């Protein structure tokens, strides 16, 4: 693709219905032609387009009795935008496929759209369009697009022995929030931040492109659990990774929730998914901004080892009950 050319994506006509219903969908600078036609037209200033897609299914990834339409829209946008910044790119647009049951009303749909809009606003992206169909439960298929701004993509396979592993963003918060909801303790005073983390993750968006500029050799977003996701870097790079659990950022709030539920906050940080923090590998000696916390090292070998611990589970498995 030549620099400055435009791309078309998807069959977006029906998603214009959401725009007409709510009037809430913005069009960012990357969107030349938004909802209302058979396809959208987007700018591709870098000449390359970063693309990621994800699927959220009611009852598997969210519950409408636990999360509002706004929560679900924000979460669906966040987890896809996080994939884009994890490549070192800047998000530009989302395309949304939406399956809706008959009991969804216009107010819920407005709130869902607001969640998408507000999350996209955080990174200067927009919803370019999508499609709607009838389904038995709410289903969201989201495709995110991004621009590298002339940078090389940061892949999973560039880590080397002697390099440093660091994280940016929250770990274990979403897992703690889910555990509180499952235990019927979601309304405990002072722990609403953790429940909110399950409903609406807060990826450290700016840290992805920042890591690319700092020379990160490998990076991904922590969606399935820190240990499991670091395992993807280890496998792709042909190296081992050693994590120091004492270095993990465990705030008092997480420790308080763990004490209430008889859980281990370090276990949440190591294996809990859906916070969409960023984990990256940097060359030794790189001075990292305060948003990044060094948690381990890359070594010769294979797999991920946590000093002094044997984990009960390695992280989220999409096919495990």
Model pLDDT, residue 26: 56
Query: Could you read off the pLDDT of 115-152 as tens digits, one per residue?
Result: 999 999 999 999 998 888 999 999 999 999 999 999 99
* Beta strands at 40-43 and 6-9: parallel, antiparallel or unpaired: antiparallel
Residues 134 and 42 in one domain: yes
Share of the chain above pLDDT 90, in %: 75
**Residue 197 domain flag:** yes
**Residue 56 domain flag:** yes
Model pLDDT, residue 37: 79
- 287 annotated to bind ligand: no
**Residue 313 domain flag:** no
Residues 97 and 172 in one domain: no
Q: Does position 68 have pLDDT exceeding 80, yes or no? A: yes
**Residue 127 domain flag:** yes
Least confident of 9-18, 101-110, 189-198, 244-253: 9-18
- 221 annotated to bind ligand: yes
For residue 300, give Cα distances in angstroms to 8, 152, 234, 285, 304: 44, 25, 10, 18, 11
Residues 26 and 83 in one domain: yes
**Residue 152 domain flag:** no
Model pLDDT, residue 29: 67
Q: Name residue 220's beta-bridge partners.
A: 279
- 271 annotated to bind ligand: no
- 110 annotated to bind ligand: no
Residues 173 and 295 in one domain: yes
**Residue 302 domain flag:** yes
Range of the domain at 212: 164-306
Mean pLDDT across the stretch 216-239? 98
- 274 annotated to bind ligand: yes
Closest listed residue to residue 158, CA positions, set 238, 242, 237, 241: 237
- 224 annotated to bind ligand: yes
Higher pLDDT, 18 or 69: 69
- 65 annotated to bind ligand: no
Model pLDDT, residue 167: 98
- 235 annotated to bind ligand: no
- 321 annotated to bind ligand: no
| Domain boundary residue, one of 91, 115, 147 | 147
- 264 annotated to bind ligand: no
Residues 59 and 105 in one domain: yes
Residues 302 and 168 in one domain: yes
**Residue 99 domain flag:** yes
Residues 13 and 77 in one domain: yes
- 11 annotated to bind ligand: no
pTM: 0.88
Residues 289 and 186 in one domain: yes
Q: Does position 53 have pLDDT exceeding 60, yes or no? A: yes
Distance CA 9, CA 1 (A): 14
The CATH number of residue 250's host domain is 3.90.650.10
**Residue 220 domain flag:** yes
Distance CA 242, CA 164 (A): 10
Mean pLDDT across the stretch 193-204? 96
Residues 103 and 228 in one domain: no
Model pLDDT, residue 34: 79
- 186 annotated to bind ligand: no
Distance CA 14, CA 225 (A): 36
How many structural domains compose the chain?
2
Query: Could you read off the pLDDT of 252-283 as tens digits, one per residue?
Result: 999 999 999 999 999 999 999 899 999 999 99
């Amino acid at each position: 693709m030549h620099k400055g050319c435009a791309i078309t994506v998807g069959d977006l006509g029906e998603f214009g219905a959401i725009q007409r219903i709510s009037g809430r969908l913005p069009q960012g600078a990357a969107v030349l032609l938004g909802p209302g036609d058979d396809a959208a037209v987007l700018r591709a200033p870098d000449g390359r387009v970063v693309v990621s897609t994800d699927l959220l299914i009611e009852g598997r990834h969210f519950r409408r009795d636990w999360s509002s339409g706004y929560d679900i829209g924000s979460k669906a946008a966040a987890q896809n935008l996080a994939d884009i910044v994890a490549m070192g790119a800047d998000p530009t647009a989302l395309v949304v496929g939406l399956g809706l049951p008959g009991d969804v009303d216009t107010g819920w749909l407005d709130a869902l759209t607001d969640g998408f809009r507000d999350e996209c606003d955080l990174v200067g992206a927009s919803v370019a369009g999508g499609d709607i169909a009838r389904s038995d439960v709410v289903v969201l298929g989201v495709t995110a697009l991004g621009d590298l701004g002339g940078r090389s993509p940061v892949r999973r396979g560039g880590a080397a022995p002697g390099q440093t592993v660091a994280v940016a963003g929250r770990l274990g918060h979403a897992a703690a929030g889910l555990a509180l909801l499952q235990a019927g303790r979601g309304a405990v005073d002072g722990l609403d931040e953790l429940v909110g983390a399950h409903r609406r993750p807060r990826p450290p968006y700016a840290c992805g492109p920042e890591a690319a500029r700092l020379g990160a050799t490998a990076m991904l977003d922590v969606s399935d659990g820190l240990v499991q996701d670091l395992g993807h870097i280890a496998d792709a790079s042909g190296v081992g990774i050693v994590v120091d659990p004492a270095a993990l950022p465990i705030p008092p709030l997480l420790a308080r929730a763990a004490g209430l539920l008889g859980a281990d906050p370090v276990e949440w940080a190591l294996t809990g998914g859906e916070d969409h923090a960023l984990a990256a590998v940097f060359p030794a000696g790189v001075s990292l901004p305060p948003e990044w916390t060094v948690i381990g090292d890359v070594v010769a070998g294979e797999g991920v080892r946590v000093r002094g611990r044997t984990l009960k589970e390695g992280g989220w498995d999409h096919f495990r009950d």
